[in-house]
Amino acid sequence: MENTDRRIKLLSREAKERIYQGLAITRLPRFLNRTLFRKAHTVITYHGVRNADLPIPDECFIARDRFISQMLYVRRHFTVVPLSQALELAVSRKKPVLPLLSITFDDGFQNVYDNAFPVLKELGLPATVFLVTSLTDTDDTIWYCVLNHAFSETSKRSIVWRDRRFDLTNPGNRVHACLTLQGILKEMPQDVLVREVEGIITALGFDPGSGLPKNSPFRILNSRDIQEMHKSGLIEFGAHTHTHSILSLLTEDAQEHEIRSSIDRVCAITGKPCTLFSYPNGEAGDFGEMTRDLLIRNNIYCSVTMMRGPNYPDTDRFCYRRYGIESAMSDHRFVMNVHHMVWVKRSISRANRACPGRA
């Protein structure tokens, strides 16, 4: 029975892929975007842009050549505007001919400056980068990258975590171990997660406080490069908490600290008020009414999620939807996402639950 269910699921996924593939090469998605979804604002989000393969693949790090071809596509078929400007345009009477799209990056990796910024500059495309402010100007990085780095570099042949043994003798097993642990740890409160990551790093033979090497793809942006991007007028910055904690797991005081510290730091680096925010993880259960109140009190104008779907002038600004662009996303899936041709009912109903009466 289970096998039959799995087969049906697989077949329906394959059928869906075929339909997407067939539709994406026609003009239909663009036509529907300009008619049925003409008032919709698309927001896409990336994390890192890499110029070489990672030893352990990570869906958050897209290859530079794929990023370039996606940027060429959105430049051709959208009016690409910064998120802050799109919010004003969405409610104004003056609508651009092509649908609105905004490009965002979460976490603030150094490779956004090294690999994405030159492309955006050349194509004249604006973007918004959300910073994890405790990590800027340090050689530390987001926990899932700490794990990726350690599993890539370790000379250990196995690791035991909570009575579970992971074999590390070949690349495939390392990928499996790293991704399995990332999936489990992601659900944990920040203080437990930090302790667990430190334990795993130590078990893999590293000092948790040793920091990343200078050429690591996982490094986080420094103030000088943030300021250079900001001065270019193309890149704006928002806050993504101070330590990348999932806000709904925190007390009110701790949430306030995460929100306020990150906003203050973004202001200090750019010299401009910070009015944009991105929820870590960004799914429906990762923030709540208390988070919204704190953001409003701290002068945030819009906060973005990782829930997929189009945004309209009446979309709740504290539950703004984005399409996450993963490294393995096919060209046709990218096209279908940006034109809102993917099945988003589930994520919209989740957004409605997260933002009762507003989304």
Which parts of this chain interact with Zn ion (CB under 5 A)?
A: 106-107, 280
| Nearest of 335, 312, 323 to residue 31 by alpha carbon | 335
Residues 20, 23, 29, 30, CA torsion sign: positive
| Nearest of 139, 142, 137, 145 to residue 225 by alpha carbon | 137
Q: Are 336 and 29 in contact (CB under 8 A)?
A: yes
Indicate the residue among 154 and 281 with the shorter CB distance to Zn ion.
281
Indicate the residue among 171 and 285 with the shorter CB distance to Zn ion.
285
Indicate the residue among 24 and 145 with the shorter CB distance to Zn ion.
145
Indicate the residue among 24 and 112 with the shorter CB distance to Zn ion.
112
Strand segments, DSSP code E, in 233-322 are 235-239, 276-278, 302-304
- CB of residue 14 to Zn ion, shortest distance in Å: 31
Indicate the residue among 33 and 245 with the shorter CB distance to Zn ion.
245
- CB of residue 240 to Zn ion, shortest distance in Å: 6
Give the contacts of 299 (CB within 8 A, at least 6 positions apart).
Answer: 263, 273, 275
**What distance, in Å, lies between the first and last C-alpha atoms of the chain?**
38
Indicate the residue among 87 and 239 with the shorter CB distance to Zn ion.
239
Indicate the residue among 78 and 237 with the shorter CB distance to Zn ion.
237
- CB of residue 130 to Zn ion, shortest distance in Å: 7
Q: Are 217 and 50 in contact (CB under 8 A)?
A: yes
| Count of CB atoms situated within 10 Å of the CB of 149 | 23
CA distance 49 to 105: 10
- CB of residue 339 to Zn ion, shortest distance in Å: 25
- CB of residue 107 to Zn ion, shortest distance in Å: 4
Closest-approach residue to Zn ion (CB):
106
Give the contacts of 139 (CB within 8 A, at least 6 positions apart).
Answer: 211, 212, 219
- CB of residue 235 to Zn ion, shortest distance in Å: 17
Torsion region of 261: left, alpha or beta (phi above 0 gives left; psi -120 to 50 gives alpha): alpha
- CB of residue 280 to Zn ion, shortest distance in Å: 5
CA distance 169 to 153: 12
